[in-house]
Amino acid sequence: MTSDTPQRARSAEAKQQRERAILDAARALATARSVREVTLTDVAAAVGLHKSAMLRYFETREQIFLALAADEWRDWTEGVRSSWASGPPEVVLARSFVSRPLFCDLLAHIPLNLERNVSFPSVRSYKRTSLAAVRAVAGDLASREGLSEQQAYDVVATAAGLAGALWQMAAPGTKLREFYKSEPELAHAVVDVEPRLVRVLGALIAGFRSPAAAR
């Protein structure tokens, strides 16, 4: 006799497969909608589990998205480190974020709520991944652009923070953005993320290279 009801993952391998299925479902839902609109019930339904059964794999909805954010940091690190030769550092950094819409969406939610409803071990695991990513890219930037380690770290950290904030302000693909664009007096509310990031990061890098910063 067979059943369509998903069985509890009992082996370590089966549990990992179930966790990956949950993360893949959350990624697909958040990409199609947005992080803020996806509930734990939505993810559970996508993988055919009852909401209560999800707690065997992730402690909260926020832990699911924090785990996705860690995946995004690893992917971003690999991508940006292989792209330095493609343009000025501010352009490479800006494009590395804008080309990853889900990552930008997650970056805004991480300090606001994703780190606030999980256990400290989960926060520690995530922070180790994100800090290692920033340090790795900052190390490249420092050696390529003649910046100090602290200056390079500040540039990369600023890029990540601004990418998350500007992405939310830009409201891409939403009726709100179309409203902004339709009202001439609200023209300054229309945010184009990549060019603004390029301008701000370019100014920051130029400032760090100046004689005043050297002193």
Per-residue pLDDT at 213:
67
The structure's pTM equals 0.87
Per-residue pLDDT at 7:
54
Which pairs from 105-108 meet CB under 8 Å and 24+ separation?
Answer: 105/30, 105/34, 105/35, 105/164, 105/167, 105/168, 106/30, 106/35, 106/65, 106/68, 106/69, 106/72, 106/164, 107/69, 107/160, 107/161, 107/163, 107/164, 107/167, 108/164, 108/165, 108/167, 108/168
Q: Distance between CA 40 and CA 76 in Å, rounded? A: 26
| Mean pLDDT lowest among 80-89, 133-142, 179-188 | 179-188
> In terms of domains, do 176 and 82 share one?
yes
- Can you tell me the mean pLDDT for 55-74? 96
Average pLDDT taken over every residue of the chain: 91
> In terms of domains, do 51 and 154 share one?
no
Q: Distance between CA 23 and CA 67 in Å, rounded? A: 8
With 50 as the cut, is the pLDDT of residue 90 above it? Answer: yes
> In terms of domains, do 33 and 99 share one?
no
**Last residue of one domain, picked from the residues 58, 74, 104:** 58
| Mean pLDDT lowest among 13-17, 35-39, 41-45, 189-193 | 189-193
Q: Distance between CA 42 and CA 148 in Å, rounded? A: 45
Residue-wise pLDDT tens digits, 111-166 = 999 999 899 999 999 999 999 999 999 999 999 999 999 999 999 999 999 999 99
Q: Distance between CA 53 and CA 75 in Å, rounded? A: 29
> In terms of domains, do 92 and 167 share one?
yes
Residue with the bigger pLDDT between 149 and 172: it is: 149
Per-residue pLDDT at 5:
46
Tally of structural domains, the chain: 2
The answer to whether 79 touches 62, Cβ cutoff 8 Å, is no
**Last residue of one domain, picked from the residues 58, 77, 106:** 58
Per-residue pLDDT at 3:
41
> In terms of domains, do 78 and 1 share one?
no
> In terms of domains, do 13 and 42 share one?
yes
> In terms of domains, do 101 and 188 share one?
yes
With 50 as the cut, is the pLDDT of residue 108 above it? Answer: yes
With 90 as the cut, is the pLDDT of residue 65 above it? Answer: yes
What domain range includes position 35?
A: 1-58
Per-residue pLDDT at 2:
40
With 70 as the cut, is the pLDDT of residue 59 above it? Answer: yes
**Last residue of one domain, picked from the residues 43, 58, 73:** 58
Residue with the bigger pLDDT between 15 and 176: it is: 15
Other beta carbons less than 10 A from residue 53's beta carbon? 15
CATH number for the domain that contains residue 119: 1.10.357.10
- Can you tell me the mean pLDDT for 75-100? 97
